[in-house]
Each structure stands twice: as structure tokens, then as C-alpha cells.
Amino acid sequence: MAITVGQVAPDFKLFNTEKKEISLSDYKGKNLVILFFPLAFTGVCTAELCNIRDNYNVYTSLNAEVIGISIDSLFSLGAFKKEQNYNFHLLSDFNKTVSKAYDSLYETFGFGMVGVTKRSAFVIDKNGVIQYAEILEDAGKQPDFDAIKACLESLK
């Protein structure tokens, strides 16, 4: 099912790297940026998430939280988060249910992999409605961070 701006964001419950269950409802009353990324420890994913880490204060100043979601195990994500000193939650969608719900799953990926998370970005407002949706077919590209920030600015 295609995700569209204006629809209520699909709810989810996933575990973070501290083995704590995180749900979309935990962010009610705040704007949320969800970044789906293909795989931990890869070049483009690391650059994308380091951009967020290094500019996290910009997002918090816009009343937003950021989370990253991939199909990696919470243990791999924990090592990735620690190595890169990320200051936001990374959630494991190991069973691929949330990636499917957000239309963010590659049928096939490089090296014969099947069912890898697509690089995608969503802005969900404090009422749980999707205000920005970007699903990239090319895993080598990064989301439009300027457009994400502009969307958040409009929600202030």
C-alpha cells in the first residue's frame, strides 16, 4: 500500500538498541522524523545518520525527534550506534513488518539480498499524520534534508 501525505501514519512497536520497545504513540504531541535505512555499517547509511547526529539540535529546535529504522538486528544496530555515537534511537525491524507498512522494502537488493529496507524519510506531525514522505529507489542517494527541515518548520 502506498504511503501518502495526509494519511495517519501506520502504528508500530519495535525494539531499540537498549532492548526497550518503542512505539509511534510514544511520540504523540511531538513531530517525528523516521529515517528508514538499508543496512548498518555501510557508507551511505553511515553518512546519512552522521548528518542527523551532527545536526540533531536543528531537529530538536523544530520540536522534532528522529529515529532510524532498518532490518538489522538490535545487536548490530547497537554496535553501529555505539561506534558512531548516534544520539537518537535506532530500531530493529528485523521481521520487516514496519518497512512493509511504510512501503519501504526493496524486493531485491544488491548481492542477492531480498527484503532490505529502502532508504526513506517521513515526517509525522504531533497528531500522527504524515506530512512528508520520500521513498528512494536508489539506495545510493540520501533524503532531501532541506525539504525535511522545511516541512518541520511549517509545523512549528
Contact 5, 131 (CB under 8 A): yes
Check the CA dihedral 95-100-102-108 and report its sign: positive
Q: Which of these is catalytic: 9, 34, 45, 91?
A: 45
45 as an active site residue: the answer is yes
The residues, any chain, with a CB within 8 Å of residue 111's CB and separated by 6 or more, are: none
* Sequence-separated (6 or more) residues with CB below 8 Å from residue 33: 59, 64, 65, 66, 67, 121, 122, 123, 124, 148, 152
Active-site positions read 45
